[in-house]
Structure 1
């Protein structure tokens, strides 16, 4: 994309594209100051998370700007949900190439506006810089949780069961389709998997309701097996994961088609942004009621056990170890 003949400049862009996104949050002060100002209600604590996305790493450079905005927002909201927090506000940093057309930024800001309306959050401020590298975007999201109740990763204990919201593997399979490495003839299946890759569903309706039920929690971004290992490492125990119990969408089942290599990809691929949590067996009934009330599936997929912290044994339907060439995504 090329620059317009009369670019708006930094402050013109802020006024046109981002000031409207801050209108719903008084602490943003209309983006007229150097920082936002806001308090935390009595009996609540602030939960803060930051996620960055880079073109060519987290999204394709030619992805629709609205899809990029959605994934950026939703990945951060998923982190809030994993801590049991409700969304409050966010800040945004954009590092954009000088030659990027302002129509891209307009579509990106419109996408953020749609996400704000959908999830009840507003812009509090941020920064905008130019870069000679790829598009780089970062959101810091703020949420509220009752004092002392933020869900930890480290609360799991041997005997706790492992649960997951929604379904696993759609994003990883969608990425394989986008790269042209997975042939899925059915157009409806392809569309579903690509949508889940580009627009994950943060479980903000479920996360805050897990307070008092879950012993440990996190979201799945690096892959189910890897992230369960992270949770176990923090909790000082091991885990058994039953691959045949992992919930798959109809689209994922169709794409996997009984192939164990594709199944392994689904449970290690990442970018699902589902909630992975542990809870005692006594919580099963309450979790079933929560799933019905929120309209989000909650599935038991394994258990925590004594053992080497972080060790995850993955078994197939015949109780044989499922061969895995990797556990999940690692930036380094």
Structure 2
């Protein structure tokens, strides 16, 4: 077991900083990353807290991978290529077995996203991770939330609701059959940020946001930033076979619209553009404000950290 912070860093967090964009990695006061000519730096940070963002007792390799994916999803939404990340982790104790599995998950995320770990910090306290990610986009090509135009088509990648469904399985609130349960647990534990899709979309999408707090909430953020309204067609929201196996379709739809933790991309396309493979049209951008999803939908808009009304 490491006997001080620097030994812990050396043993479990070093050696993950190799990458083409890294000029100087772990070991100095700061890392140095390279940008290509004509690029701009984009950066974001995401925090994951034990018992808030993942259930207590979550296997450490999943804690690590999930935290990185959640942060990288913000890069994906802007069409950025990953450059590097830093990690600040607070640990209750320096448990060697736990840390070995945690490093395994980190290494998997570094490989998955070509995202070197170039620095960070460790301290003692309740389990908490803050991942700062850095990426690059060509000048003028970043996809912002604020670009949606009236007449655009609203689209989303993948399936929605699997994150909330997976959490329900892990917390024992739902018991689907084994294949579906395993799929949903994996979707919660190991979400995949849509980096390749984001880079594809930057040539023609007018706006984008990652679906982390819930579809309705995130569409609302995009609509507000763009000064438009959105008309959503709930029946067009794509649901997985696993989620559709739930005997209450209203619950499945509620998870898809407000559950969050899917880390898919919601984006707007101008007229004449078909959605890319694996994405679906779910509505349109209209004049006005807010999100209209029909008179029959009455759902909390999404997860809010300082509200007791998070959807479950």
* Deviation (angstroms), 1:265: 2.5
Q: Is the 8 A contact 1:228 1:276 kept in 2?
A: yes
Among 257, 265, 276, the alignment partner of 1:275 is: 265
Kindly indicate whether the alpha-carbon contact (under 8 Å) linking 1:19 and 1:30 is maintained by their aligned counterparts in 2: no
* Matches for 1:155-166 after TM superposition, within 5 Å: 155-166=147-158
Q: Are the structure 2 counterparts of residues 277 and 237 from structure 1 closer, same or farther at C-alpha, using a change threshold of 3 Å? A: same
Give the conservation status (yes or no) of the 8 Å contact 1:25–1:122: no
2:190 is matched with which residue? Answer: 199
Match of 2:297 in 1: 323
> Normalized per residue, which structure has more helix?
1
Aligned to 2:293: 314
Query: Which of 251, 261, 270 matches 2:251?
Result: 261
1:123 and 2:153 matched: no
Question: Could you tell me how far apart the structure 1 residues matched to 2:80 and 2:18 are?
Answer: 22
- The superposition leaves residues 131-158 of structure 1 with CA deviations (integer Å, 9 ceiling, x where unpaired) of 2xx2010111111110111101010011
Q: Residue 240 of structure 1 contacts residue 312 of structure 1 at CA under 8 Å; is this kept in 2? A: yes
Secondary structure, counterpart of 1:21 in structure 2: coil
8 A contact 1:28–1:123 mirrored in 2: no
Secondary structure, in 3 states, of the residue corresponding to 1:271? coil
State the Cα distance separating 1:322 from its structure 2 match: 3.0
Q: Are 1:101 and 2:75 counterparts?
A: no
- Higher CA-based Rg: 1
Three-state SS of the structure 1 residue aligned to 2:24 is helix
Identify unmatched segments of 5+ residues in structure 2.
307-312
Q: Kindly state the Cα deviation for residue 18 of structure 1 after the two structures are TM-superposed.
A: 1.1
Residue 164 of structure 2 is aligned to residue 172 of structure 1: yes
Cα RMSD over matched residues?
1.5
- Taking the aligned partners of 2:17 and 2:135, their CA distance within structure 1 comes to 16
Q: What does 1:294-309 align with in structure 2 at a 5 Å threshold?
A: 297-307=278-288, 309=289
TM-score norm. by structure 2 comes to 0.94
Instruction: Work out whether residues 264 and 324 of structure 1, in 8 Å CA contact, stay in contact via their aligned partners in 2.
Output: no
Partner residue in 2 for 1:219:
210
C-alpha separation between the residues in 2 aligned to 1:251 and 1:26? 39
Query: Partners in 2 of 1:322 and 1:175 — Cα distance?
Result: 26
Task: Show the 5 A alignment for 1:233-244.
Answer: 233-244=224-235
Tell me how far apart the structure 2 counterparts of residues 207 and 249 of structure 1 sit (CA, whole Å).
22
**Aligned with 1:281: secondary structure?**
coil
Which of 42, 63, 72 is equivalent to 2:37? 42
Q: Which blocks of at least 5 consecutive residues in structure 1 are unaligned?
A: 292-296, 316-320
- What is the deviation of 1:323? 2.6
Structure 2 Cα separation of the partners of residues 102 and 17 of structure 1: 9
1:90 is matched with which residue? Answer: 85
Paired positions, count:
306
Structure 1 residues 94 and 25, CA gap change in structure 2 (3 angstroms)? farther
Q: Whole-Å Cα distance in 1 between the matches of residues 58 and 84 of structure 2?
A: 25
**Distance in 2 (alpha carbons) for counterparts of 1:70 and 1:173:** 19
- CA apart distance, 1:26: 7.2
Structure 1 counterpart of 2:174, from 151, 176, 182: 182
- For residues 25 and 59 of structure 1, do their structure 2 counterparts lie closer, same or farther at Cα, with a shift above 3 Å needed? farther
Q: Does the 8 A contact of 2:47 with 2:131 survive in 1?
A: yes
- Would the aligned equivalents of 1:28 and 1:125 in 2 still touch at CA under 8 Å? no
Deviation at 1:100, TM superposition (A): 4.2
Q: Does 1:232 align with 2:223?
A: yes
In the alignment, the residues of structure 2 paired with residue 30 and residue 278 of structure 1 have an alpha-carbon distance, to the nearest angstrom, of 37
SS, match of residue 11 in structure 1: helix
